[in-house]
Amino acid sequence: MEKKAFRIGTRGSPLALAQANMVAAAIGEPAELAIVRTAGDREQSRPLAAIGGKGVWTAELERQLLSGEIDMAVHSMKDVESERPGGLFIAAMLPRADVRDRLIGLPNLAALTAGATIGTSSPRRASQLLRRVPGLNIVPFRGNVATRLQRIADREADATLLAAAGLARLGQDDVGTAIETRDMLPAPGQGAIGIEVRADRARLRERLAQISHPETYDAVTAERAFARALGGSCHSPVAALAVIEGDRLVLRGEILSENGQIHRSGEASLSGVRSRHGVEAMGAALARDLLDGAPEALASLFTAAG
């Protein structure tokens, strides 16, 4: 048997495996996938907030990185906590896919009316929809992408939202309707795949830097700095999207109350050379801006982290 150059740790869901295979292809050397079960995989029914703890999708992968059982861990950046454990580093991100959410079960946002049942366990999606239509009936919806699509087919809910990127990676690009980002800002990191390594693996880091997509890395870094500076729990409704416009990195961010009735959004931008520090400072400054101007009932959902 040929000797594999790397062990790539991944969750075992079809989406996670598709993403790990994309990373293996990008690296272009024989790699072995090591399937790692995370707390989130083990608990398919309870809400994530009830499972609690940090890193439901990542902690076990990160433990195996630190122990050397795997060389890299592949993550959906959306599922990676903005507060990082020490000793680890996101060494690369693949070019970002479609950042939008897709609405499945109803033709468009205008079709959402009071009393409709929406299956989602995402506080962001729930609050963004409730902001538009206060009388929606939000019910928890977990499980992998295929499970959630089946639950809509079975009419357990009238509609759900799924990330366009995840659907596309599973070959289901045409399911549902894309919601424009001006109508619904995505989660920080949505659509981006990250590769995490132990911080002390200098050669591996250099190697992965070569396949990293700088625009995606900078945009997602800005979104994650915004989320981190908001503090609060990862279950507070937060949305953010950074895009490159010419030589500018433009970040939009939004925070909402759980019922969507209190919300604030804003924009920041950075021109010219984008240092890591500058990108992170922009994200943090936008977070402070939004919190400073927010009513107490909204600001209290977050605990500003400096």
Closest-approach residue to ligand PBG (CB): 166
- Residue 78 sits in the site that holds ligand PBG (CB under 6 A): yes
Residue closer to ligand PBG, measured from CB, 122 or 298: 122
Distances (CA, A) of 217 to 42, 46, 199, 247, 293: 30, 32, 17, 15, 29
- Indicate the DSSP class of residue 197: E
CA 161 to chain CA mean position, Å: 14
Interface with ligand PBG (CB under 6 A), residue from 60, 79, 196, 218: 79
CB of 179 to ligand PBG, least distance (A): 12
H/E segment holding residue 167: helix 164-169
Name every residue whose Cβ is closer than 8 Å to that of residue 50 and which is 6 or more positions away in sequence.
none
CB of 251 to ligand PBG, least distance (A): 18
CB of 43 to ligand PBG, least distance (A): 14
Closest C-alpha among 257, 249, 183 to residue 214? 249
> Restricting to residues 110-169, which ones interact with ligand PBG according to CB under 6 A?
162-163, 165-166
Using a CB cutoff of 8 Å and minimum separation of 24, what contacts does 268-277 make?
Answer: 270/222, 271/247, 272/247, 274/218, 274/249, 276/221
Interface with ligand PBG (CB under 6 A), residue from 190, 212, 221, 236: 190
Which residue is catalytic, options 71, 79, 101, 158?
79
For ligand PBG (CB under 6 A), the number of binding residues is 9
CB of 166 to ligand PBG, least distance (A): 3
Residue type, 164: A
Whether 79 sits among the annotated catalytic residues: the reply is yes
> Helix, strand, or coil here: 153?
helix
List interacting residues with ligand PBG (CB under 6 A). Answer: 76, 78-79, 162-163, 165-166, 190-191
Active site (catalytic) residues: 79
